[in-house]
Structure 1
């Protein structure tokens, strides 16, 4: 018997038509949303402890009832994605009668059984529609109940509609209503093509050519490849030891945990993969620019608010030079992200979208989920004990690493954090050896 059994899929509609929601309209996406590398599903699962005085039926009704209310303002999530002319970009087509599918499921297992697995079992806790199906329903949810009384919320959303912060903002609104609020405290903001659109005369002041390729229409910028996935513990002691080693002289800069760990993992992956020394290798990570722009993006803006940031060197230089220099390379890349960088990236998308834009080979991707406001997604039984990403096609890379907080057990969080790494199976044994020093206490 399957680990997870689905009982039904129900379509939930906005509880009322919001005043901003005409009977029929087409909403344009921003040029950050329309990045071809974001034409992928983002699948996540959030685990909850549940409450003894709440049965499964009550919890399901609370979540789905709140979903219907929230969709009155977040109605584009119930829309359909269609390509427009002449550039073939996606847009959201909204009309009355559209809804969001919610799968109801159960498992004979306890929540603890799934919380650290990387298998088809945990993968079955979130919907997995084909990308073609997601054009009709860009958001699908799944609520799964466990024998221990806990439950999980699986989510599959088309990346062009939101990033991790945007998805959290939406789910926080649903959770706020589920806890009894009459309306959400933060009103969602669209206006995407106006807030993050190209200049009237697009111009690219930042040179992206070392990092991005434009060569003909590319239906799948990710290509093929088979990768293994594994969790790696990063202890507080291991992190501080690494940062101290990178600091060098007393007057040297102190690197952030992100700069230090990413520099270490990037080098370790390239070493373990035995990349030829003179091969160019790239690092790409996402950086939130919501507060960088002037004016800042509105608090309720829930579209993609991150830009990709790049660093490049050769495999030989990365493996042979002090890690402090790699951390400094990452720091310089971060500091190079200005308002002009963001606008140039948007204009680059405007000028080259039809060409097909990819990151290319030998690229490692990193995304940091440690500081997303996961605790705000509380449906009345407490915030999630754990949040896991299930997708590995992000940032134009398959060779991806998530930095994740540890699950909360009884309100107490374990020290350190986890790195969830996707890497070729052949390189995994050597990479494990490289990572041991970060786990030591």
Structure 2
């Protein structure tokens, strides 16, 4: 276990965070990138490249500090004390990897919530007996979102394979002030939507939503001719929500409210400049009755999700903050599901010298709320379906959730 910093060591530089960073809650997020083609000395190669990359991404090596603005928001990152780096080995082949073994590939924060003194990034490289390796990044969500971390890892990959003397994308941290400053009400509302109520009693399930089912939902959605074609995310989220409501929602009343929340990347919406790697996402929430989700078609549910996506710009409007992001008490209801999509963020393009990852997935030990992460395609694409790592049901509901997915596939 090492602390890796940029050349030149620590410094006294203060990096300001954006108001989007301040909407995030300081809990750890973990991305696992599994590579089936070996590279020479992967741990040492990636460690050296990480140190070089931190010369361009110095805030990643910093520590959070509180600013005295009266409401306790985390407004700055100080210094460059380094990130935690772990080199490990596994006595089995990548092909023998199972979901329970994923936990051994992850360097973790001592508690789910990250303290000010903790590194903003923990990186572990694990070499498998077959020559493949895993790179696992666990980071404090206040530092960045998924697209930002994919950019950081992409830069490490470029330097590891000697593609250029510096990252090809020039990194921007505070975006030179070009991002809109969110009102305090919006920041507070988004924080409440992700408020940390940790739970260990959710089953970690590695599932695939079959390609045929996704295609059927999209075709039925599109047949109505109500606008742009159904996206993969809309179809997959609809399937997951419907299966979970049928299997796991405690209330038996069809009139009971159920909620879905999803994260939306708003970089293009707010004009973020290329290279910005801080947070730039919002959480949108929606409700429906249990009956509407459980008994309608998956395409009907996808249309509900589309309407919620169309309202995302409203979250950025002046005066936003008292609406759908908070009214459902997202983080404390088992009847709420959070779905995040990691497709098209850039994780699938990271290359440390042996090619792109065979698989990108997500790992969680404690989660803030029942959730699913829609993972990007591996080398084989989406021919078989879309991979989803899920911690959305309690163990006693896991079999029913999987059975509902099978039943929906077999229609």
Name the TM-score, length of structure 1 as normaliser.
0.80
Structure 1's 153 and 360: CA in aligned 2 closer, same or farther, altered over 3 A? same
Match of 1:95 in 2: 79
Structure 1's 253 and 138: CA in aligned 2 closer, same or farther, altered over 3 A? closer
Equivalent residue in structure 2 for 1:43, among 30, 43, 52: 30
Aligned CA RMSD, in angstroms, stands at 3.2
Q: Is the 8 A contact 2:348 2:360 kept in 1?
A: no
Q: Does 1:26 align with 2:1?
A: no
Match of 1:174 in 2: 156
**C-alpha distance in structure 2 between counterparts of 1:104 and 1:125, whole Å:** 10
**C-alpha distance in structure 2 between counterparts of 1:138 and 1:250, whole Å:** 46
Q: Is the 8 A contact 1:408 1:414 kept in 2?
A: no
* Residue deviations 1:48-96 (CA, integer Å, cap 9, x gap): 1233xx543xx33321121111101111111111233222222444236
CA displacement at 1:247 relative to structure 2: 4.8
Q: Does 1:129 align with 2:129?
A: no
**C-alpha distance in structure 2 between counterparts of 1:213 and 1:139, whole Å:** 24
**C-alpha distance in structure 2 between counterparts of 1:60 and 1:26, whole Å:** 30
Count matched residues.
399
Q: Is the 8 A contact 2:179 2:272 kept in 1?
A: no
Name the TM-score, length of structure 2 as normaliser.
0.86
Q: Is the 8 A contact 1:284 1:364 kept in 2?
A: yes
Larger Rg: 1
- What pairs with 1:399-438 in structure 2 (closer than 5 Å)? 399-408=370-379, 414-422=383-391, 423-437=393-407
Structure 1's 343 and 67: CA in aligned 2 closer, same or farther, altered over 3 A? farther
Which blocks of at least 5 consecutive residues in structure 2 are unaligned?
none
- What pairs with 1:313-324 in structure 2 (closer than 5 Å)? 313-324=288-299
Equivalent residue in structure 1 for 2:47, among 61, 64, 70: 64
Match of 1:240 in 2: 215
Q: Does 1:273 align with 2:248?
A: yes
Q: Is the 8 A contact 1:45 1:152 kept in 2?
A: yes
Structure 2 residue matching 1:32: 3-state secondary structure: helix
* Residue deviations 1:370-394 (CA, integer Å, cap 9, x gap): 3232343111111111112013767
- What pairs with 1:285-300 in structure 2 (closer than 5 Å)? 285-293=262-270, 296-300=271-275
CA displacement at 1:291 relative to structure 2: 0.8
Which blocks of at least 5 consecutive residues in structure 1 are unaligned?
1-8
Structure 1 residue matching 2:239: 3-state secondary structure: helix
Structure 1 residue matching 2:217: 3-state secondary structure: helix
